[in-house]
Structure 1
Amino acid sequence: MNRLSLAALIWLLLAGAGVAALFMSARGQFTATFDTDARILHRVLSQRMEQQEAVLNAVDALEPGMDAAALAGYLDTLLRPYPQVVAVERCAAQGCRVLGTPAETPPALASTISPDPAVNWPEGGGPLYAVSRGNMRVWVDARRLTGALDSGAAPLTYTLFQPNSDIVIVAHTPKTAQASTTLRVAKVLGTALQPFTIRISRPVPWGAWPWLGGVLWSLLTAGLTALVWRLLDTRRAAQRALMDERARAGGVVQAVSEAIVALDDAHRVTLANPAARAALAHPLPPGTDLRAVTAFQATLSQAPFNAASFWDSPGPVALPEGLTLLRNGEAVQVEGALTPLRGTDGELRGRVLTLREVGPLQRRMLEHLEDGERRVREHEDMLAHVSRLSTLGEMGAGLAHELNQPLTAIVSYGQAAARLLDEPEPDLARVRHAVGASVTQAVRAAQIIIRLRQWVRRAPSRARPTDLVQAVQNVLTLCRADLNRLGVSVVTAYADAPLIQADPVQLEQIILNLLRNALDAVQDTPDPVIELSIVLEAGGWKLSVLDNGPGIAAEVATRLFTPFTTSKAGGLGLGLSMSQTLAQGMGGDLSGANAGAGGAVFTLSLPRLVQEAASG
């Protein structure tokens, strides 16, 4: 059963129980009212039966001493309060005669004279019957017994029967709406002379039931059920979130390499991760007093360690530097802290102890440092090699005259030897000299080429997607010592994900040349600053290197990228020329100029990576 079905079932149970209670209460009210009205009707009828018998006894007592006229006058006055008594007869052996003014003409009934009271029924029964005693007979109309009781908001239906029979004396059935149920009761009138059976009923119409109350109750319970269910659902979600958060926190605690032990306010363990069990060489089950299984020992290099003050500190407290932990008879240097945990009311709820071994941490830091230094050295060697390789390309033009000299001499000596041999009497000594000189110059050229090949021999470079920001960061790392030594402030502003297609080493060589030129320019400048920025302009990436040095001298500005052009003492003048050639080989360019606010700015322009441009 899903949650929605369960909520619907709960609502149905609540609504059904409430509606049932409403209808049962209404039925109880109907029954109580009916019982009350039935008792009143029974009592009224019994009282009126007694009134009829009192009238009979009165006329029976008056009859012997009064003549018919006087008795008739007396009866008109006597019967006025009793509308159900419709006629009085005096009977003799010859028959019965009506006295006074009857309200109803009594039916024919044989004369019966008896000293005992009796009930006389006319032939066929009906609502008229007579009670007699001696010579007197009193006629009663059962239809007038109830009078005003026959009407009302919820009139009763009743039927009056002759004693010990199903012969109906009178039946009163008011017109009512269609009944949903009928309440019934049967009683016997409380007189000895007229013990008539009366059956009383009351139909309960459909409209009398509390339908509106049932609808309102159903709507109310539906709203309450939805509200309670929402609150419960919110609470369940909060509990799930809390459990998930606890599980994540527990997972983090279990996964970290540092020793973590959670304590209650009495220093008993509530949680310990595997690193804590290994560090303390103890299983640390919940409830363990951590003070009993942990022993710290001060070393000579620190102040004495006060264990009681440490464990009961009201605030966070760190372990003194150089403190050791005694573990299986061995002193292990550790560091860490004890932090109190407080509730929202500020009351202490517990503490958390964190520990880490200092020895392994120091070894790992040294290993990482040595590894980083090794990678920096390898990077510097690679950049130095690329520098030589790139410099060779730029030196080709400059060194061409070096090789051109021995080659020109070889040609000249060869031509001279040929002319000498064409003479009629060749001068062989001069020919030998020319040939020997040619050999010497050839050997010289070969030696120059061999030295250059040995200097630049390296595996060929390959272009690949390269992060321009990462290349700048690598070069900054290489130059960090010089930057710090000269007190140069470096300001950077990088765009997001500037990717290019380039050889990373050649790219870093260009950036290194630009950065070292900027360093040389600002070394005598107060508050030296170098700004490096990467922006996207005209579909390509632009790396700018700006310094606040003296700027570019006018005499070298026009031939800045010409080989062997330099303003540095002892410089070859090949760095910028080589860098521009490498940039152009990547599909970009390198330019330089004086900055408007002083200093020089060199801009390396490189095209965007093809797939980056396609996806951008």
Structure 2
Amino acid sequence: MTRRTLALLLWLMLAGLGTVALFFSTGSRLTATFNTDARILHRVLSQRMEQQEAVLNAVDALERQGMSAAALGTYLDALLRPYPQVVAVERCSVGGCQALGAPAERPPPLAVSTSARPTVRWPEEGGPLYALSQNNVRVWVNAQRLTGALDNGAAPLTYTLFQPATNVIVVAHTPETGATSRTLQVEKVLGTTLQPFPIRISRSVPWSAWPWAAAALWTLLTAGLSVLIFRLLESRRTAQRALLDERARAGGVVQAASEAIVALDERYQVTLANPAARAALNHPLPFGTDLRTVASFQATLSQAPFDVATFWDSSQPTALPEGLSLLRGDEAVQVEGSLAPLRGADNELRGRVLILREAGPLQRRMLEHLEEGERRVREHEEMLAHVSRLSTLGEMGAGLAHELNQPLTAIVSYGQAAAHLLDDPEPDLERIRHAVGASVAQAGRAAQIIVRLRQWVRRTPSRARPTDLVQAVQNVLTLCRADLNRLRVAVVTDYADTSLVQADPVQLEQIILNLLRNALDAVQDAPNPTIKLGIASEGSSWFLSVCDNGPGIAAEVAQRLFTPFTTSKEGGLGLGLSLSQTLAQGMGGDLQGANAGAGGAVFTLSLPCLVLEAASD
């Protein structure tokens, strides 16, 4: 049986048992509620039967005392208000019956009976009306009014009242219900001697009363639990397989290693030895061999004294002294290596591992590799010099296109704005002058960018002069104000009023513009796009930080962030940050980038503070 099948069976078992328990619990609750409601209905009906008999006894006692019909009528009008089921009271004699008071319903014809014993009499036409007779008094009861407000409710009861012995239906109360799943039913007898009417009480249980949502939720929960158990089993199986694979790989690495590797337990007995160890020690090294009896070392005159006991008992990694020789039969072979402790998860010593290698062949191979490496380095230096020249040319062309795109876009935008303003019936000359002046300024800025790029290619130093870092930031914010408003980006600033740095103004604004453009690209899909600009001084430098709340720097890009042609933007050239860092370093500063602690990315530009020379006397 596979683990998947086991998880499926477990889910089916849990879901089935839980669903059965839910439905059983609901059924028990519905049955208990029905039994309680049925008992309440039975008790109420029995009490009202007793009330009817009390009315009969009271009227009979008053009538036998000789109270007049008018006085009885007045008394009955007050007496019968709490008993809506008593619809009429009559005084009967051999000649007929006379209604007392104001009857609620007209009694049907019924033969006169003046028996002194209380009896229940039914009209021939049937129906819910019946009479309680005693002596000359007859009390009429409408069985439909026995329950009153008990007929309604969230889960009304269905009940049927029968005549004693005949099982003729007196009242059948059946509320409207929808589709039902089952019917709960109980039969009782009303608890009075005079009116022991059988009653059948039932309740229809609709389909909506069952815990379908809870059963579905339980099924989903058990499904999730089964999936979790299945994944845990798979994870455990994968971990066990990975552990076995890791052990196999580790054993393979040990067996394939050219160094002699011997693993020991805490009693210095061999638990693992690779072929190189058997060859180096000239011993088969079977499991359980005490390595101290096999490995014999001899110190040379050129090294410090070698304490064998201290070496084997060391609890820290211990390297073999330089110049130590291993005695192998009749020869002594110079070796190097170390003895390291092996500790368990509780940091308790579980054994040691000895690594040995012959020093002579290793030194010869190292000299040969060193000579070969030097030759290849010379060849690569010549080739890289040529490639560097070609790369610089390509980087300059791509950088030129990248850097000129922004001022040219601004020139187009200002030109279009001026053209639209000129089409107005009353052109706003002041705004047109501003747009044309801004276009001219951006054109001059593009020319300066070309000059600076040429200087950068020639590696000529930038023209640094006292520059206000805050003003440079304000200039760039003004340039980007349209995009900031369009994207509804909130700009939060935190810097001093004046921060003078030694920098090239054009290059500085170019760096800030690149950082701000990158931040705008990063936050355009953020729910509350925000860019924070901060300027602070530390030591002899000013630091400008540009922080956004975008997705941050991807891990695969972070290691190559300032490498040319590295970008995560679709259609990007990947030269903006590279050129910006180059310009910053040319001004004696630096540019760094990382992910912010609260999310997003933060780029920090550092520039040297302006040092004002003291005025000479």
Question: What TM-score, normalized by structure 2, do the two folds share?
Answer: 0.51
Q: Distance in 2 between matches of 1:145 and 1:490?
A: 112
1:32 maps to 32
Q: Distance in 2 between matches of 1:306 and 1:39?
A: 96
Contact 2:90–2:97 at 8 Å: present in 1 too? Answer: yes
Q: Distance in 2 between matches of 1:69 and 1:346?
A: 109
Cα 1:490/1:224, change in 2 over 3 Å: closer
Q: Distance in 2 between matches of 1:118 and 1:262?
A: 109
Cα 1:170/1:334, change in 2 over 3 Å: farther
Q: What amino acid is aligned across from residue 210 of structure 2 in structure 1?
A: W
User: What are the equivalent positions in structure 2 for 1:497-508 lying under 5 Å apart?
Assistant: none
Confirm whether residue 305 of structure 1 aligns to residue 191 of structure 2: no
Q: What amino acid is aligned across from residue 284 of structure 1 in structure 2?
A: F
2:109 maps to 108
2:127 maps to 126
User: What are the equivalent positions in structure 2 for 1:517-596 lying under 5 Å apart?
Assistant: none
Q: What amino acid is aligned across from residue 63 of structure 1 in structure 2?
A: E
Deviation at 1:60, TM superposition (A): 2.0
Per-residue Cα deviation, 1:512-534 (whole angstroms, up to 9, x for no partner): xxxxxxxxxxxxxxxxxxx999x
Confirm whether residue 76 of structure 1 aligns to residue 77 of structure 2: yes
Cα 1:82/1:277, change in 2 over 3 Å: farther
Q: Distance in 2 between matches of 1:263 and 1:130?
A: 109
Q: Distance in 2 between matches of 1:94 and 1:259?
A: 134
Q: Distance in 1 between matches of 2:172 and 2:18?
A: 39
Contact 2:88–2:106 at 8 Å: present in 1 too? Answer: yes
Confirm whether residue 284 of structure 1 aligns to residue 287 of structure 2: yes
Deviation at 1:150, TM superposition (A): 1.0
Q: Distance in 2 between matches of 1:113 and 1:276?
A: 127
Q: What amino acid is aligned across from residue 187 of structure 1 in structure 2?
A: K
Q: Distance in 1 between matches of 2:118 and 2:39?
A: 27
Cα 1:311/1:55, change in 2 over 3 Å: same
Cα 1:184/1:332, change in 2 over 3 Å: farther
Deviation at 1:111, TM superposition (A): 3.3
2:316 maps to 314
Contact 1:318–1:337 at 8 Å: present in 2 too? Answer: yes
Contact 2:270–2:286 at 8 Å: present in 1 too? Answer: no
Confirm whether residue 236 of structure 1 aligns to residue 229 of structure 2: no
SS of 2:54's partner is helix
1:507 maps to none
Deviation at 1:208, TM superposition (A): 3.1
- Most deviating of 316-325 and 38-47: 316-325
Q: Distance in 2 between matches of 1:154 and 1:137?
A: 36
SS of 1:166's partner is coil
1:162 maps to 163
SS of 1:116's partner is coil
Q: Distance in 1 between matches of 2:145 and 2:27?
A: 31
1:142 maps to 143
1:379 maps to none
Q: Distance in 2 between matches of 1:44 and 1:305?
A: 105
Deviation at 1:307, TM superposition (A): 1.8
Per-residue Cα deviation, 1:121-153 (whole angstroms, up to 9, x for no partner): 333643222223333222211100001111122
2:184 maps to 183
Per-residue Cα deviation, 1:286-333 (whole angstroms, up to 9, x for no partner): xx8x47866746578684533244233312333785555799xx9987
Contact 2:87–2:104 at 8 Å: present in 1 too? Answer: yes
1:493 maps to 379
Q: Distance in 1 between matches of 2:112 and 2:199?
A: 28
Contact 2:262–2:273 at 8 Å: present in 1 too? Answer: yes
Q: Distance in 1 between matches of 2:86 and 2:383?
A: 128
Q: Distance in 1 between matches of 2:168 and 2:12?
A: 50
Gaps of 5+ in 1: 370-476, 495-530, 536-616
SS of 2:105's partner is coil
Deviation at 1:343, TM superposition (A): 6.4
SS of 1:75's partner is helix
2:428 maps to none
Q: Distance in 1 between matches of 2:90 and 2:161?
A: 24
Q: Distance in 2 between matches of 1:201 and 1:90?
A: 38
Cα 1:263/1:186, change in 2 over 3 Å: farther
Contact 2:159–2:172 at 8 Å: present in 1 too? Answer: yes
Deviation at 1:171, TM superposition (A): 0.9
1:245 maps to 246
Contact 1:118–1:133 at 8 Å: present in 2 too? Answer: yes
Deviation at 1:256, TM superposition (A): 5.1
Contact 1:297–1:305 at 8 Å: present in 2 too? Answer: no
Cα 1:489/1:7, change in 2 over 3 Å: closer
Q: Distance in 1 between matches of 2:286 and 2:90?
A: 118
Q: What amino acid is aligned across from residue 379 of structure 2 in structure 1?
A: A
Deviation at 1:81, TM superposition (A): 1.2
Q: Distance in 2 between matches of 1:223 and 1:264?
A: 46
Per-residue Cα deviation, 1:31-51 (whole angstroms, up to 9, x for no partner): 333233222212211211111
Cα 1:175/1:491, change in 2 over 3 Å: closer
Cα 1:309/1:175, change in 2 over 3 Å: same
Contact 1:89–1:138 at 8 Å: present in 2 too? Answer: yes
SS of 1:130's partner is strand
User: What are the equivalent positions in structure 2 for 1:208-607 lying under 5 Å apart?
Assistant: 208-223=209-224, 225-226=226-227, 229-230=230-231, 232-254=233-255, 260-264=261-265, 271-272=272-273, 283-285=286-288, 290=290, 296=296, 298=298, 303-318=305-320, 335=335, 336-342=337-343, 350-354=351-355, 493=379
Larger Rg: 1
Q: What amino acid is aligned across from residue 47 of structure 1 in structure 2?
A: Q
Q: What amino acid is aligned across from residue 354 of structure 1 in structure 2?
A: I
Cα 1:489/1:52, change in 2 over 3 Å: closer
Cα 1:346/1:135, change in 2 over 3 Å: same
Q: What amino acid is aligned across from residue 287 of structure 2 in structure 1?
A: L
Aligned residues: 375
Confirm whether residue 44 of structure 1 aligns to residue 44 of structure 2: yes
Contact 1:87–1:106 at 8 Å: present in 2 too? Answer: yes
Q: What amino acid is aligned across from residue 251 of structure 1 in structure 2?
A: G
Cα 1:102/1:281, change in 2 over 3 Å: same
Q: What amino acid is aligned across from residue 239 of structure 1 in structure 2?
A: Q
